[in-house]
Amino acid sequence: MTETDAAQPDPSLRSGSPVGVDWNLLRETARAAMERAYVPYSKFPVGAAALTDTGRIVSGCNVENASYGLTLCAECSLVSDLVMGGGGHLVAFACVDGNGGVLMPCGRCRQLLYEHSAEGMVLDTVSGFKTIDEVIPDAFGPRQLEAYEASQKGRS
């Protein structure tokens, strides 16, 4: 256990922790992914890990680019891992910085996660466990498109 680990409470013991999710394993997987980050410019490695609805764990790290706008966040490579591994929906998510501390995904990544989330997906955030709908309220994604499509059936 590192000094950083000792300073942070066990996320599986936090109030509101979803039952059946091994948050320690997700955070450790995110830390391992973070170790592979390519960050020659910011020197700020990020790792992410998520549990899918089939029980598979997917992960990713940030990959910087000299043309800064082309940098990929850890969540981008996590979603690539999800899709390359056969797809599915994300049910639990954790993201860590270079010290192993919990990070909140940026707005772009929240939208990306929403696209691939199961309803009620839970994120380990700096302010405790939150659902995807709490971190990106009133989001637009596949569920809204499906609802619209269903509302159009029979209209011709």
- The angle at the Cα of 60, spanning 109 to 7, to the nearest 5 degrees, equals 90
pLDDT for position 130: 97
pLDDT (average), residues 1-28: 60
Instruction: Kindly state the tokens that stand for 31.
Output: 């830390």
Instruction: Kindly state the tokens that stand for 143.
Output: 């569920």
Instruction: Kindly state the tokens that stand for 9.
Output: 């409470």
pLDDT at residue 62 is higher than 60: yes
Q: What is the set of domains in the chain, with CATH numbers?
A: 3-152 (3.40.140.10)
- Distance between CA atoms of residues 71 and 26, nearest Å: 24
Percent of the chain surpassing pLDDT 90: 83
pLDDT at residue 155 is higher than 60: yes
Give residue-wise pLDDT tens across range 79-118. 999 999 999 999 999 999 999 999 999 999 999 999 999 9
Q: How confident is the model at residue 18 (pLDDT cuts 50, 70, 90)?
A: low
SS3 sequence of 49-88: EEEECCCCEEEEECECCCCHHHCECHHHHHHHHHHHCCCC
Please say whether the beta carbons of 34 and 45 come within 8 A.
Answer: yes
pLDDT at residue 7 is higher than 60: no
- Distance between CA atoms of residues 68 and 41, nearest Å: 9
**Which of 153 and 16 is assigned the larger pLDDT?**
153
Instruction: Kindly state the tokens that stand for 146.
Output: 């499906």
Q: How confident is the model at residue 10 (pLDDT cuts 50, 70, 90)?
A: very low
Indicate the pTM of the whole model: 0.84
Q: Write down the catalytic residue from 3, 35, 75, 119.
A: 75
pLDDT for position 88: 97
pLDDT for position 17: 57
Question: Which residue's structure tokens are 């066990």?
Answer: 10
Judge whether 75 counts as a catalytic residue.
yes
pLDDT for position 75: 99
Question: Which residue's structure tokens are 């109030």?
Answer: 15
